[in-house]
A and B are shown apart, each in its own frame.
Chain A
């Protein structure tokens, strides 16, 4: 049968495949390839004179403290990764024991991920303000000293944004890990229990090793996310402020290109971002391949 199928496949002209692929390739060229080439080109040009200036745009980027601040903030955002992974593992493993009503909890935990960043951002903005609920609650429990404009204070603004990111995205990790756990053999868990392993030992020797490949993929994709998919959070919650304390690369690119007419810096930072993503994707693929081998 296999041979029959193969011969049938070969008997079709190879162009059938390309006919099916044409619309997808056309869209990819239009929306990805052409813009990427344009941005790389723009990063090497002086916009006004439309002249090749080599790496001058990149050089002026390194002299720009706001650009540095933006990139630094992207790195600080990476701090959400261990928190997301830790809490996702914890919640997923509790749900995996199927306590009463676990499906309801699963639905609840995932719900924030379905809401748009805009909705979530505006709601949290209202919660975080000076006269907002968070401060009301803090006063209510006698922690008056902690009252503040959470998003208006440069010391807490970025951390407050991170809290929103964690709140919205933890459900995705939980769902991913729960799906992976259901592929674990129950024998392993039974054996561990028979051996008298406690909750912590099971977590450490059974659950986490089984999750490891998914954790790697999740960490890589969250890393890509923290570098290049946080525009919405920043745009809604802080607009990069106060001052430049919550600027991130995406917001820098957006502002440089559309509000400050400095296309060169925008293009240079966009190219750097693209480079980071390419490297991260390469890592992710090699991780996934390892996972496939297992």
Chain B
């Protein structure tokens, strides 16, 4: 009973958005709740006919994949050093990184905006790329440290005896062993950037440079009275998210719970 209610409540907004996207405006006015009696695809045509809609998708894809890739490389190096090497200040560094994870973007966003204006990077990909990468690094590092310190010692020792340098160990042993954790981090963070609002809202203020998340808000204002067209835009935005979630669910759940639950 409880579960059925929960499932119904979880699903309803999705159901509503998807069914609405296939209704004509006339039908939506009469029939809000039921499935579309005469499904139409006009709404999707209208959405793709909007200036820049495809560009917004492309912008989000580029920003998310590049920043996640760069941040992962930086985080892997840092996490390896913290988990596997001895140096002064190692513990403190680990706690500082953990603390940075919680610092909200709103605290930094004004100085970041000013900085990007001064550097002439505002309204270029570079501004959000730098900020996304920088904000993801502490998060990824924190979780990867946990994972790297659980790797079997024997394997790494064997590598060291074979004369591997740290760079070699990292590339030949650590990264392949950590592949599931890296996949988890990549998926979780890709979706974070894909869905992020504040940073891209502030740093990309030109219509053709917007990300899909910000674009949808522009789009919603433009179509405020046309609910089905707005719903069609939402459906398009949801598709990659849900696909990634369903394919990578295992990694996804793992990536999010690694920090909160010991031994996971």
Contact = CB atoms under 8 A, between A and B. Distances in A.
A116 B130 contact: no
B197 A16 contact: no
Interface string A119-149: 1101111110000110011000000000000
Contacts of B10: 108-109, 111-112, 167, 171
A165 interface: no
A55 interface: no
Interface stretch (B13-21, B37-45, B46-54): B13-21
Interface string A6-30: 0011101010111011011101101
A285 B98 CA distance: 9
A94 B104 contact: no
Contacts of A194: none
A281 interface: yes
Contacts, number: 276
B115 interface: yes
Interface residues of A, number: 97
Contacts of A38: 111, 114-115
A192 interface: no
A118 B130 contact: no
B133 interface: yes
Contacts of A17: 81, 85-87, 90
B103 A32 contact: yes
Contact of B107 (A35, A123, A179): A35
Nearest to A125: B220
B14 to A, nearest CB: 7
Contacts of A4: 157
A77 to B, nearest CB: 14
B124 interface: no
Nearest to B202: A258
Contact of A109 (B7, B87, B231): B7
A174 to B, nearest CB: 9
A28 B115 CA distance: 15
A246 interface: no
A280 B102 CA distance: 9
Query: A14, A123, A172: which has the most chain B beta carbons within 10 Å?
Result: A123
B7 A108 contact: yes
A107 B249 contact: yes
Contact of B108 (A8, A31, A117, A172): A31
